[in-house]
Structure 1
Amino acid sequence: MTQPSTVRVGRNDAKSAWKKSSYSDHNGDCVELAEFGDVVAFRDSKDLYGPVVSVGRRTMATFVSALTSGQMAAGRR
């Protein structure tokens, strides 16, 4: 069995093409993401120079698949 990619937490040091989530609401609670080759990075849109979490594309695809298939529904154990 292959190991999942490592989740990295860092700082946003580079200017990137950050995209705001289409599910973001109007009160400022927003998540943005940017793609860097084989890595997808996330940040809080209110803190442009704050922490950034990045994961590999395969990890991201697995996460999105689990969300959209209902495997990670709120309250589910």
Structure 2
Amino acid sequence: MAQPSTVRVGTANTGFAWKKSSYSGHNGDCVEWAEAGNVVAFRDSKDLQGSVISVGRRTASAFLSALTGGQVRGSWL
């Protein structure tokens, strides 16, 4: 597996157009994401002013492919 790109952690950027999965429940327990050029950012929908994790588009794509392919397991899923 290729080495991941740099992961950045910061605070919410109000300039992002945040999106939520159509599979998300209506209880507010969701992860939102936003795209900005070659970067994809993720945040907790319950904490809009909280931390944001951003990674390169290729890293985000590889991670999401691993999730949907069943290659990532853990108690947080």
Smaller-chain TM-score bracket:
0.7 to 0.9
| TM-score, with structure 2 as normaliser | 0.82
**Structure 1, gaps ≥5 residues long:** none
Q: 1:1-77 to 2 correspondence within 5 Å?
A: 3-74=3-74
Q: Which 4+ stretches in 1 moved above 6 angstroms?
A: none
- Say how many residue pairs are matched: 75
CA RMSD in angstroms comes to: 1.9
Q: Which has the larger radius of gyration?
A: 1
Shift in Å at residue 15 of structure 1? 2.1
Give percent identity, aligned residues only: 69
Q: TM-score, normalised by structure 1?
A: 0.82
**Deviation string for 1:18-74 (max 9, x for gaps)?**
001222211110111000100000011121111100010110111111112211145
